[in-house]
Structures are given as C-alpha cells and as structure tokens.
Structure 1
C-alpha cells in the first residue's frame, strides 16, 4: 500500500466512477435513439454509428440536439406503462369496462338493507344485484 498513496486511490476511484457514469449515459442515449418514433431507420442508424464510433462527441452532440425530447419520450413511455398496468389491474380484478365507483357500493348496501328489512324478497334481491353488477 506504500507505493499507491491514498490520493492516487481517490483519483482512480473517481475516474472509474466517471467511466461507469459515461457508459450509463451512452446506453441511455442508445435506448432513446431506438425508442424515438420521430426518426426513421436511416437517422437511427446514423446516430448509432456516430455514438459508437465517436462516443464522447456523439453522445454530447445527441444531448445538445435531441436532449430535450429525451425527457418527453421517457414520460410518454412511463405513462404508457402505467396505463397498461392499470388496465391489467382492472382486467385481473374483473372490473374492466364497468363503473365500480362508490355508487355501486351504496346501491348494494341499500339493496341488502331492503332485503334484511323484508321489503324485497331474496329473488328480487338477486335480480337487482345482477342488474347492478352487469
């Protein structure tokens, strides 16, 4: 440890961190290139070649030219994923295409009270419940 002072260790760790950070940024840019729907195949190929052949310059130029749109595309992908997740939840819960707000709960409670008080029969309760849930 005597031939490698703490300051050199610090600089090595700093450069390693920056190198890893650079790769994350480059992969983020490459992901954005392929995610972008407003570019054609040739433009995507040109940006990809530019980013791979001249990585530092290519990534910096991409961030300058198309960096603002990266955030918009990320938000759009996140919103789409959230929408798909919500659709899956609705489908899994069996409530797809139905209004299952508090109104249904209140109506079911009112029907149960009517049945319990004897105002409607069991058959009328079942029929009303089926109409409500259909």
Structure 2
C-alpha cells in the first residue's frame, strides 16, 4: 500500500479553514481592486495615451506597488469619474426609454387630436373625450 497520506476535508482543522477562506477572499479582493484601477485608467479622459500606457505598465509590472501608488496619486478622482459614468449611463438609458416608449408631451398630443378633428377623423364628442383623457393624465 502507498505510504502517502490523503488529507480529507474532515482532517482540516477549523483554523486552517478560516485562514484558507481569508486568503481566497483577499486574493479575490486584490483582483477586484486591480481590475478597478485598470478600468479607471482607461475611463479617465484627462490622461493622455502615453500616461495611460505608463500607468498600465506600472500596474502590470509591479502590481502591488503600482496599484497602491495609483490609489494614492489618483484615488480621489476615481469616485468622481465613476459618478460621471453612472450619470451618463442613466441619461442614455432615460433617452432610450423615452424614444422606445414614444412618449410625447400633452401639447403634442392635443395638437395631434385637433388635427384629427379638423380632418374629420374624430367627431366633436370623440375629440372632447380624448382631450379629457390627455388632460387627466
């Protein structure tokens, strides 16, 4: 029989499980921070192409030092750039929803109803009923 021992999960002491979980959490946290910094480098419109390339090389070649130096040097603006990006995305989403829904103002809707009435497509009673609905909305 083989003398190599097999370590089962049941043989793992509780403290070892805690330390392993903590290291995995820190590893995931580190990659999230690294990707956040790289995303911020490319999102910043104030940096030139050479500055972006320099920061990327610094962050890739010396990742721990590069990320920490970036956070100290440019960390204050990260939140502001993030907020501006969220605002732009929200404005684009609202504009898309307005276009997709085809919403019009009350004045445009009343003008369209008056045009239908003038062409004889609506009777005066239908016009008044539709006008009441538009004004009630």
Q: TM-score range by the shorter chain?
A: 0.7 to 0.9
**Ranges in structure 2 where 5+ consecutive residues have no aligned partner:** 1-8, 115-121
Distance 1:41 1:71 in 2: 21
Deviation of 1:104 (Å): 7.6
Q: Deviations over 1:50-103 (max 9, x none)?
A: 1111111110110111011110110001000000000001101113xx4x26x7
TM-score, normalised with respect to structure 2: 0.71
Check if 1:58 corresponds to 2:66: yes
Deviation of 1:4 (Å): 3.0
Q: 1:114 corresponds to which residue?
A: none
**Ranges in structure 1 where 5+ consecutive residues have no aligned partner:** 112-120
Q: 1:115 corresponds to which residue?
A: none
Q: 1:122 corresponds to which residue?
A: 123
Q: 2:47 corresponds to which residue?
A: 39
| Residue pairs, 1:13-52, within 5 angstroms | 13-52=21-60
Superposed CA RMSD: 3.0
Distance 1:34 1:87 in 2: 25
Q: 2:6 corresponds to which residue?
A: none
- Give the aligned length: 113
